[in-house]
Homo-oligomer: A and B are copies of this chain.
Amino acid sequence: MAFSEFRPLNEKSLVEYIKSVPSLSSKLGSNLDELTIKEVGDGNLNFVYIVIGSSGSFVIKQALPYIRCIGESWPMTKERAYFEAIALKEEGRWCPGHVPEVYHFDRTMSLIGMRYLEPPHIILRKGLIAGVEYPLLAEHISDFISKTIFYTSLLYRTTTEHKSAVAEFCGNVELCRLTEQVVFSDPYKVSEYNHWTSPHLDLDAEAVRNDNALKAEIAELKSKFCERSQALIHGDLHTGSVMVTRESTQVIDPEFAFYGPIGFDVGAFLGNLILAYFAQDGHADAENDRKKYKEWILRTIEDTWNLFQKKFIALWDKHKDGPGEAYLPAIYNNPELQQLVQKKYFEELFHDSLGFGAAKMIRRIVGVAHVEDFESIADASKRASCERRALELAKLLLKERRKFQNIAEIVSAIRKVQ
């Protein structure tokens, strides 16, 4: 067989591959020699091909055994494609409306075939930079997070199911290690990979490396990341892992998925919205001062959290007599108690989300991988001033997160940063 062992594909060899896989070729129509194939991977890690035939289309994503944006000098297991595939399927099971369907998975080739999210779908981050409002975004993302998290947590699962899923995803350790390094370690030490808008933020980056209180907090969050298997988290839920139109919201790229702390996903999304907010002043021009758009982002932050909480609690109430073993109905048997435990649960989750969100913001300003929201601001001193404000807020959230009671207070804190 031509593809009985791993080999990196290109636009040409991909045609041969597709011809050898009926479940793929059958989607495209009769003439397989006139396909349109385009590599579009703009992400950091993998290769993504859009394949269009006369009567159908799909996307092929292949993992190579290194990190694309760095090169072969940073090896990375191609087994990540396996974890991405099983995570996509699990997420799709619970939230099919917001996850692309998987058509095909080939473990040997580290290759996934999935629905092509056709135009006008674009990466959310690009929409946020362009100043486009997505009226359903908070509704959809809260749906995705609440369902994928709830249904893979012990609120819905038995201990037996949970431990077996936890064990399986322990196999995705290399990707967990990558997060540990780039989110929880590198920004707090001197690292060859770190960079920032220099010299403007030199002192700010140094201050991060010398902030004992910050380092104590990041250690606590890192421990939770490494040790707390609450649910199947996406693991990389920034605004570059979401594709949108005004009507549709699709979450892609869960190759970092594992059983981890819920707040890591919630925080990733909220933290990246906050980055988008602070980048707006850098995108403002004579035509559009972005003031109205900034208000929309703040509303979306608030709505995302509040809707997430509301939907998650609704799922909990709906399934309180279900298979989940965390809160047995014979014990949590009165409405007052049910409310008490839910309040307690969400207090911790809120503070976790703030902490992880803040960590994700910091690493995008002084760590290895930055965000286009800021990178696309050409004027370095303008960019630095946006980044500095985001960094100040993130440090406040990381250190003082337990003092905030609700998301409205976070929005106020964001507004206060000058």
Is A166 at the interface (CB under 8 A from chain B)?
yes
Nearest CB in chain B: distance from A22 CB, A: 35
Q: Is A207's beta carbon under 8 Å from chain B?
A: no
Q: Across the interface, do B189 and A176 meet the contact criterion of CB distance under 8 Å?
A: no
B190 adjacent to A223 (CB under 8 Å): no
Verify B160–A177 contact, CB threshold 8 A.
yes
What's the Cα separation between A361 and B325 when bound, in Å?
Answer: 22
Name 17 extra pairs, CB < 8 A, besides A170-B170, A190-B330, A216-B344: A159-B176, A160-B174, A164-B170, A167-B170, A185-B331, A212-B336, A212-B337, A212-B340, A213-B340, A215-B341, A216-B337, A216-B340, A219-B344, A220-B344, A223-B230, A223-B326, A227-B228
Contact B154 A163 (CB under 8 A): no
Stoichiometry, copies per complex: 2
Docked Cα-Cα span, A341 to B213, in Å, equals: 9
Interface flag for A162 (CB, 8 Å):
yes
Query: How many Å lie between the Cα of A95 and that of B154 in the bound state?
Result: 34
Picked from B159, B173, B334, B341, the residue with its CB within 8 Å of the CB of A219 is B341
Taking a contact as CB atoms under 8 Å apart, the answer to whether B167 and A171 are in contact is yes
Q: Shortest distance in angstroms between A131's beta carbon and chain B's nearest beta carbon?
A: 38
Q: Which residues of B contact A337 (CB under 8 A)?
A: 212, 215-216
Instruction: Pick the 5 closest A-B CB pairs, nearest first.
Output: A167-B170, A189-B330, A167-B167, A163-B170, A163-B173
Which B residues are CB-close (under 8 A) to A228?
Answer: 227-229
Binding site for B on A (CB under 8 A): 154, 159-160, 162-164, 166-168, 170-171, 173-174, 176-177, 180, 185, 188-190, 212-213, 215-216, 219-220, 222-223, 226-230, 325-328, 330-334, 336-337, 340-341, 344
User: A226, B185: Cβ atoms under 8 Å?
Assistant: no
Specify which of B154, B173, B229, B341 is in contact with A216 (CB 8 Å cutoff): B341
Q: Is there an interface contact between B222 and A326, defined as CB atoms closer than 8 Å?
A: yes
Contacting pair A177 B159 (CB below 8 A): yes
Partner of A227, one of B168, B189, B229, B341: B229
Q: Which residues of B contact A212 (CB under 8 A)?
A: 334, 336-337, 340
State whether A180 touches B159 (Cβ < 8 A).
yes
Give the distance in Å from the alpha carbon of A218 to the alpha carbon of B168 in the complex.
Answer: 28
Q: Could you say which residues of chain B place their CB within 8 Å of the CB of A332?
A: 215, 219
CB neighbours (8 Å) of A171 from chain B are: 163, 167
Do residues A226 and B177 form an inter-chain contact, with CB atoms below 8 A?
no
Minimum C-beta distance from A280 to chain B (A): 32
In the complex the two chains form, is A164's CB within 8 Å of B154's CB? no
Known: A167-B171, A226-B162. A180 touches B325 (CB 8 A): yes
Task: List, in ascending order, chain B residues with CB within 8 A of A227's CB.
Answer: 154, 228-230
B166 x A170 contact (CB < 8 A) = yes
Report the separation of the CA atoms of residues A341 and B223 in the bound assembly, to the nearest whole angstrom. Answer: 12
A228 to B330, CA, bound (A): 24
Chain B residue nearest to A180 in the complex (CB): B159
User: In the complex, what residue of chain B is closest to A185 when comparing beta carbons?
Assistant: B328
Q: Which residues of B contact A177 (CB under 8 A)?
A: 159-160
A321 to B171 alpha-carbon distance, docked (Å): 26
Docked-complex contact B226 and A326, CB < 8 angstroms = yes
Would you mind naming 30 contact pairs between A and B with Cβ atoms under 8 Å apart? A154-B226, A154-B227, A159-B177, A159-B180, A160-B177, A162-B226, A163-B170, A166-B166, A166-B167, A166-B170, A167-B167, A167-B168, A167-B171, A170-B170, A180-B325, A185-B331, A189-B328, A189-B330, A212-B334, A215-B332, A215-B337, A215-B341, A219-B341, A219-B344, A226-B326, A227-B228, A227-B229, A227-B230, A228-B229, A229-B229
| Assembly CA distance A206 to B213 (angstroms) | 45
CA distance A336 to B213 in the complex (A): 11
* Complex interface: chain B residues within 8 A of A341 (CB): 215-216, 219
A337 to B185 Cα, complex, angstroms: 15
A176 CA to B229 CA in the complex, in Å? Answer: 15
Give the one of A154, A170, A180, A337 with max B CB within 10 A: A170
